[in-house]
Each structure stands twice: as structure tokens, then as C-alpha cells.
Structure 1
Amino acid sequence: MTPDHGILPDAHVPPALRGLMAEIAAASVALAARIARNGLDEALGAAAGTNSDGDAQKALDVIADELFLQAARRGGVRHYASEEQEEVVVLREDAPFALAIDPLDGSSNIDTNVAIGTIFSVYPAAATPEASFLRPVREQIGAGYVIYGPQTALICSFGDGVQRYVLDSTAGRFVLTEAQVQVPTESSEFAVNASNYRHWQAPVRAYVDDCVAGVEGPRAKNFNMRWIASLVAEVHRILSRGGVFLYPADSRKGYENGRLRLVYECAPIAFLMVQAGGGATDGTDPILRARPTALHQRTPFIFGSLSKVARVAAYHDMPAGETAALFGKRGLFRS
């Protein structure tokens, strides 16, 4: 497959990044075709060991990582940081870019036919592998994700809004369908894994309590709760319909700092959300103000419509007695 089978070289992609984006798009087209044949040619959901962070790997995790590593090599990437690699891989010492990537997000859903995806972030390459990624995440020069679902779509930004491309599977290339994606400001949806309620901190419990209380509670409004367990699917829904996603820190061992990775999951999604008029925080502080200290560092993550992300942060600022009280006593958040 050649880079011609990928993204159209339109004006939204900076000239310097067109080669890399063409390679990412080409790898995504190849991966989408392979996913569509899961169970026919191979068992993509089969166990394949564990990754560097101790998470279970599926066969498709390994396949996707190799596809994007080779795409990065051809696309001018010097330093390649992947969820599936313990350390940064140095590809070409003279290349200009650093690529942080989750090659296959949502791999637990491979065999359930739920949307899965790829998340990526681009930086100018620094002198060392560590310096390329242990830097302020606001220094990203591009970010995006590919979602493999009923449609395969590529959502990306290079610092001037967010673009949506849809795969024309007949032509084997992505076609621009929306030049300026915006997060809807109003929505009655929130996404959280409610089975972890007992482990959450009081502000998160209070926020969810008030949503669940509906018209009888201080929000005086009914809400719907969503949880897909596929980060790209959650992002894609929020970009389309608005709302808020919460994956907070909690009291379980290994979850004290949240579960999602800052460098190659939260940072690129935060970049997209802000470019689309939304927000992204760790519960209180903007993700784009963060500076990771480790490649696989985890962080709490809240993103979505700007006002809803701000409301979650406001719950963290409330006195302890307020967040511990029954929902009917939090008059500050009436309506």
C-alpha cells in the first residue's frame, strides 16, 4: 500500500506533516480492512501476552503497533512512543517528528464488534527520546484518532480547528467531510463507569448523584448515562452530541492517579477537545498545562462540553460537607 491510499493532501494538513499523515492514514486503511475480517482470516482478539505496563495484549494490539511503527519510519518520525513499547523506539536520527501513539485503543472490545481505534500525537523531535515526550503537552503540533466502527473515520487537528475525514473504502482513502468540528455546548449525557462508584472521591460521587437525581435533584433535569469502554468511541460521541466523560482517580490500588495514559491517550484527546471548543482536565487542572515525568504516566481524565467540564471542576472546589451531603442540599447547582 502506498501513501496515496490515505488522507487527501488538502489545505488543513500543514505541508510538513502531509507525508506523515498520509502514512498514518494508509496504515489505518490497512488496519480497518484487517479488523473487518476478524474471525475469517485470524483471531484478532486472541491473547498475546502483556504490554510494558502490565496490561493484557491482544493479537491486534501487536499487529497495530507494527503497522504504525513502520508507517512512522516512512513518515519522518525520529522517536516513536507506543503503549505497546516499554521504551521510546528511535527510528531515524535525522527525522523531524516524534509520534506518541496508542495503536489499538479499546482492545477488550475486539470480539464484541464495538468501535475501537487508534490515538496519536505529533511533536517536533527533540535531541533525546525523553525530551521528545517528557515536555509540556501543549507543544503538540498535531493530534488525532481513527475510529474503526460502522464507518472508519479520522479526526485530527493541527492547531487550527478539528477536521473529520471518512474512509471511502472503495477508493481506499479518507475524504474530508467536516472542516470545523465543534463540541455541542448542551447535552443531557454523561459517561462514567458507575460500577466504580464506591471507590470514587466525594466530588465525583456528588456530581454523578446530582445527575442521577434528575428533575428531583439540584440540576432539575434528567440525564442519560453512557459507558462504552472504548475511549475513541466516547470521544467520537461527545464530538457529535456533546456531554462529558469521566475517568477519575479512585481508591483502588493502581487507580490512585487514574488509569488513562497522559502522553498518548489524554494529551491528544485534550488537544482535540480544546480545538473543538470543549474542555479537558484531570478533574481540576487543564490537561494541556500538564508536563509528564514518565512515558506511561497515568492521569484522571474529564473531557467534553466546556461548561460540563467546568462544573465537574467546581464540585472539586466545594467544601467537604457540601459534597458529602445528600443531593437535595447542594443548592449551588440548582438548574
Structure 2
Amino acid sequence: MRGGGGGHASTAALHWSQHLPSLRAVPRWSAFKSPGASLLLNSLSVSLSLSRAAGEPPSAAMSDRGTFDTNVVTVTRFVMEEGRRAGGTGELTTLLNSVCTAVKAISSAVRKAGLAHLYGISGSTNVTGDQVKKLDILSNDLIINMIKSSFTSCVLVSEENDKAIIIDPETRGKYIVCFDPLDGSSNIDCLVSIGTIFAIYKKATDDEPCEKDALQPGRDLVAAGYALYGSATMIVLSTGHGVNGFMLDPAIGEFILVDRDVKIKKRGKIYSLNEGYAMHFEPAVTEYLQKKKFPQDGTEPYGARYIGSMVADVHRTLMYGGIFLYPGNVKSPKGKLRLLYECNPIAFLVEQAGGLATTGAQRVLDVQPEALHQRVPFVVGSRDDVNEYLSFVKKFP
């Protein structure tokens, strides 16, 4: 009887294991008998013993010292709280939620681009002459579709589109969004950190939306931010009341506040620019770099860091201090970076963090845009570093 029962049990177990393959993946206790596992179990045992000796129940010790925060601040919660204090309608929160959803999707695509055959160029160029990558197109479509479906915008301006996108009346809102869907995309194939940049304005008139509605100076921004796809995915955001950083927690699929009220150092120790264009630099830039590399006043020389992906270079500058430069030069007097969806949002963030952003001739946020894809010289970073750069600019009018 025992033998027969055992046979039936084995047959039943085999039958269920075929239908529930996940059960076969559950490790036996013997699988945990490794030195590392033993050390972990011993540590847990000691921790529980100490908590009991202190008169704490095991559950209390675990919850008080656990790794899970039960009161996390998500980007949605944060923006809702900011909006409530400002007496907002919640429309900006909805818009930012749609941007965050697009960023999550882009982050996923970036991380499996090699497996999904998303590397390489699409065979076309955008309005500013850059080769368009396959991920550029995917990212652009994701952001456009997510924002359109949020019912919060009326005009969209993208680096990848020649003209502004006017939202249909039935899905229209009051915000204007300018964005670079995938900044630094020339670095995609070699796995360098890349990002997404966005700037949000409010429509200033009640007229029918048009391209001119997007031509607002950066000082009128309602919100701006960037997403960085690096060792983790992070959104750095400002709604005009300081700068905050949110890290994507892949376990719960939410952006969690990790850096509150970010402030840039008054002076850093790093300069960042593409010195491959040195032969074309203006005298002010050349002399400034000479001082940074070969100081004559006894100070330490600056370190040079240049990734070639503006979001990554700017994020490092924001975190560590210093200066990022993409100035005009003899070959390209207006520089390379675009005002509406690159310079303005980054300048807004850095100024909100206590830094400065300049074209060399004026504050970036005071430039009146004249075209959707207008370029401007761009220097941004720690206040003292940017002011020092401007002192060299004044020497060479």
C-alpha cells in the first residue's frame, strides 16, 4: 500500500510540475547551504537574538530597520503637493505623469536596444542635420503619443520634427512642451549614458494654438527637467521651486525622490567641453582654458571631463560643480545646442539650483527665441566658474 501510494503521489507531483513550471524553480533548503547563505542566516539569527534581548518583538525589529520605506515620495506625489500649495488644477501633474511614463518606456528600450535590434541609424537626418537613430524615432513617438493622450498640451516641439505639432481640439490642453527625445543619441551604439530633455510652457493667449506660441523665453518656463539613462534611470525636475532628483525603482515602476532641493557648488574643480574644436575657439575661450589648465596663482588645475552627451555632462556638473561649455566658435558662431529644448531647460534647472547659464552675451533664459530650432552658444555651471568665464569674455569684446 505504501509503495502504491508513493507511486500515485509521484505521478501527481509530475503532473502538476508540468503545468506549473515555476514550482520546479523553487530551490530546496539544501540549495541555501552555501558559506554566503550561512553567513546571512547567522547574521539574521544574531539580529533577532539581540532584538529579543532588548525586549523588541521580531516583527518590530524587522520593520524599524528594514530596507523598505513605507512612506516614499514619488514624482506624482511630489508634484501634486507642489501644485496644491500653488493652487493648481492638477493638469501639470497629469502632463508630467505622461512624460514619466514615456521615460520609463524609453529606459526599457535603451536597455534592451541591442537585443531588439534598435542600434544603428534609420537612414534619415533631422532638421538640424543630425543622423537619426532608430531609438530617436522610437523615443520621439513615445513622448508625442503619451503627451497627446494626456489631454494637457496644445503645441509640441521636438528636435526630430521640422515643424511644431498642433494638438487636435478634442484632446487639447493649455501647455506647450518642447523636448529632445534622446539627447546624445550619437553615443547609443557604444553604450554611453544618454538622456531626454523637456521644457514646459503655458500658452500665453486664448488664440488658436500655433508655432509662435512656443517661441517664449526661458524665464517663462513652468517646469523643466531631464531624464538620464545611465547606471540607473533618473529624472531631475524643477517646477520653479528648486531642483529635485527622482530615481526609477524598477521593482515598483515608480520614480522615487532621492535628491531633495539640489544645490550646485559655488565653484567646482572640473571643466567640460569638446577640445577637439580648439583650433576654432575664440580667444576668450582659449585664454580661459589656459588658466584652468595652467593656473599661475597657486591654485590646483581643473580636471577635464567630457562625455559628449550633454545630459550626462550637465548632470555631473550639477552634482559636483564646475562648468560645462559649448560656446560659439569661428566655424559655428551660434554654437551647436538648440535653445528651446536643450539650453532653456538645462539653464532653468541650473539656475534653480543656484548656478548660472549664459550665451556669453546675455543670460540664456532672457534670449527671445526667433525660430523653433534656433542655436545659441551655451555656458552653464557653478556661479563663480561662469562669472570667471564671463570676465575673460569681457576682455575680448
* TM-score (ref. length: structure 2): 0.76
Are the counterparts in 1 of residues 284 and 396 from structure 2 also a CA contact under 8 Å?
no
The residue correspondences of 1:168-187 to structure 2 (distance < 5 A) are 168-187=249-268
Identify the residue that residue 331 of structure 1 maps to in structure 2: none
2:283–2:396 contact (8 Å) kept in structure 1: no
Q: In structure 2, what is the Cα distance between the partners aligned to 1:314 and 1:102? A: 32
Q: Which residue of 1 aligns with 2:76?
A: 8
**Equivalent residues of 1:8, 1:175 under 8 A apart:** no
Secondary structure at the aligned position of 2:76 is classed as coil
C-alpha contact (below 8 Å) 1:100/1:120 kept by paired residues: yes
Q: Compute the displacement of 1:319 (Å).
A: 5.1
Whole-angstrom CA distance in 2 between matches of 1:311 and 1:129: 40
Q: Report the AA paired with residue 232 of structure 2.
A: Q
Matches within 5 A, 1:95-134: 95-126=173-204, 127=207, 128-134=209-215
Partner of 1:223: 302
SS in 2 for 1:239: helix
Q: Which has the higher contact order (CA 8 A, sep 6+)?
A: 1
Which one is further off, 152-161 or 35-44?
A: 35-44
- Matched residue SS, 2:328: coil
Structure 1 stretch displaced more, 288-297 or 93-102: 93-102
Alpha-carbon spacing, 1:117–1:249, altered in 2? closer, same or farther (3 Å): same
Checking the alignment, whether the CA contact within 8 Å between 2:267 and 2:383 is kept in structure 1 is no
Partners of 1:48 and 1:77 in 2: how far apart? Answer: 30
Q: Does 1:79 align with 2:158?
A: no
Question: d(CA) in 1 for partners of 2:274 and 2:322?
Answer: 15
User: Which residues of 2 match residues 279-294 of structure 1 at below 5 A?
Assistant: 279-294=356-371
Richer in strand (by share):
1
5+ residue gaps in structure 2?
1-73
Do structure 1's residue 277 and structure 2's residue 354 form an aligned pair? yes
**What letter matches 1:9 in structure 2?**
R
| 8 A contact 1:164–1:181 mirrored in 2 | yes
Change (3 A) 1:259 1:319: closer
Structure 2 residue corresponding to 1:243, chosen from 304, 322, 335: 322
Q: CA deviation at 1:218?
A: 4.4
The aligned residue for residue 315 of structure 1 is 392
Aligned-pair distance for 1:187? 1.6
Q: Output the TM-score relative to the length of structure 1.
A: 0.89
In structure 2, do the counterparts of structure 1 residues 218 and 64 end up closer, same or farther at CA, with 3 Å as the change threshold?
A: same
* Pairing partner for 2:108 from 2, 23, 33: 33
Aligned length: 311
Structure with larger Rg: 2
Instruction: Supply the AA of the counterpart residue of 1:50.
Output: T
Separation in 1, partners of 2:297, 2:185:
38
Cα RMSD of the aligned pairs, angstroms, is 1.5
> Runs (4+) of structure 1 moved beyond 4 Å?
none
- Which residue in the other structure is 2:240 paired with? 159
Percent of aligned positions that are identical: 34
Cα distance in structure 2, aligned partners of 1:12 and 1:218: 46
Q: Residues of 2 paired with 1:264 and 1:319: CA distance?
A: 29
Q: Where does residue 209 of structure 1 map in the other structure? A: 290
Give 1:188 shift: 1.0
Q: Which is helix-richer, 1 or 2?
A: 2
CA distance in 1: counterparts of 2:326 and 2:121, whole angstroms: 27
Q: 2:97 aligns with which of 22, 37, 57?
A: 22
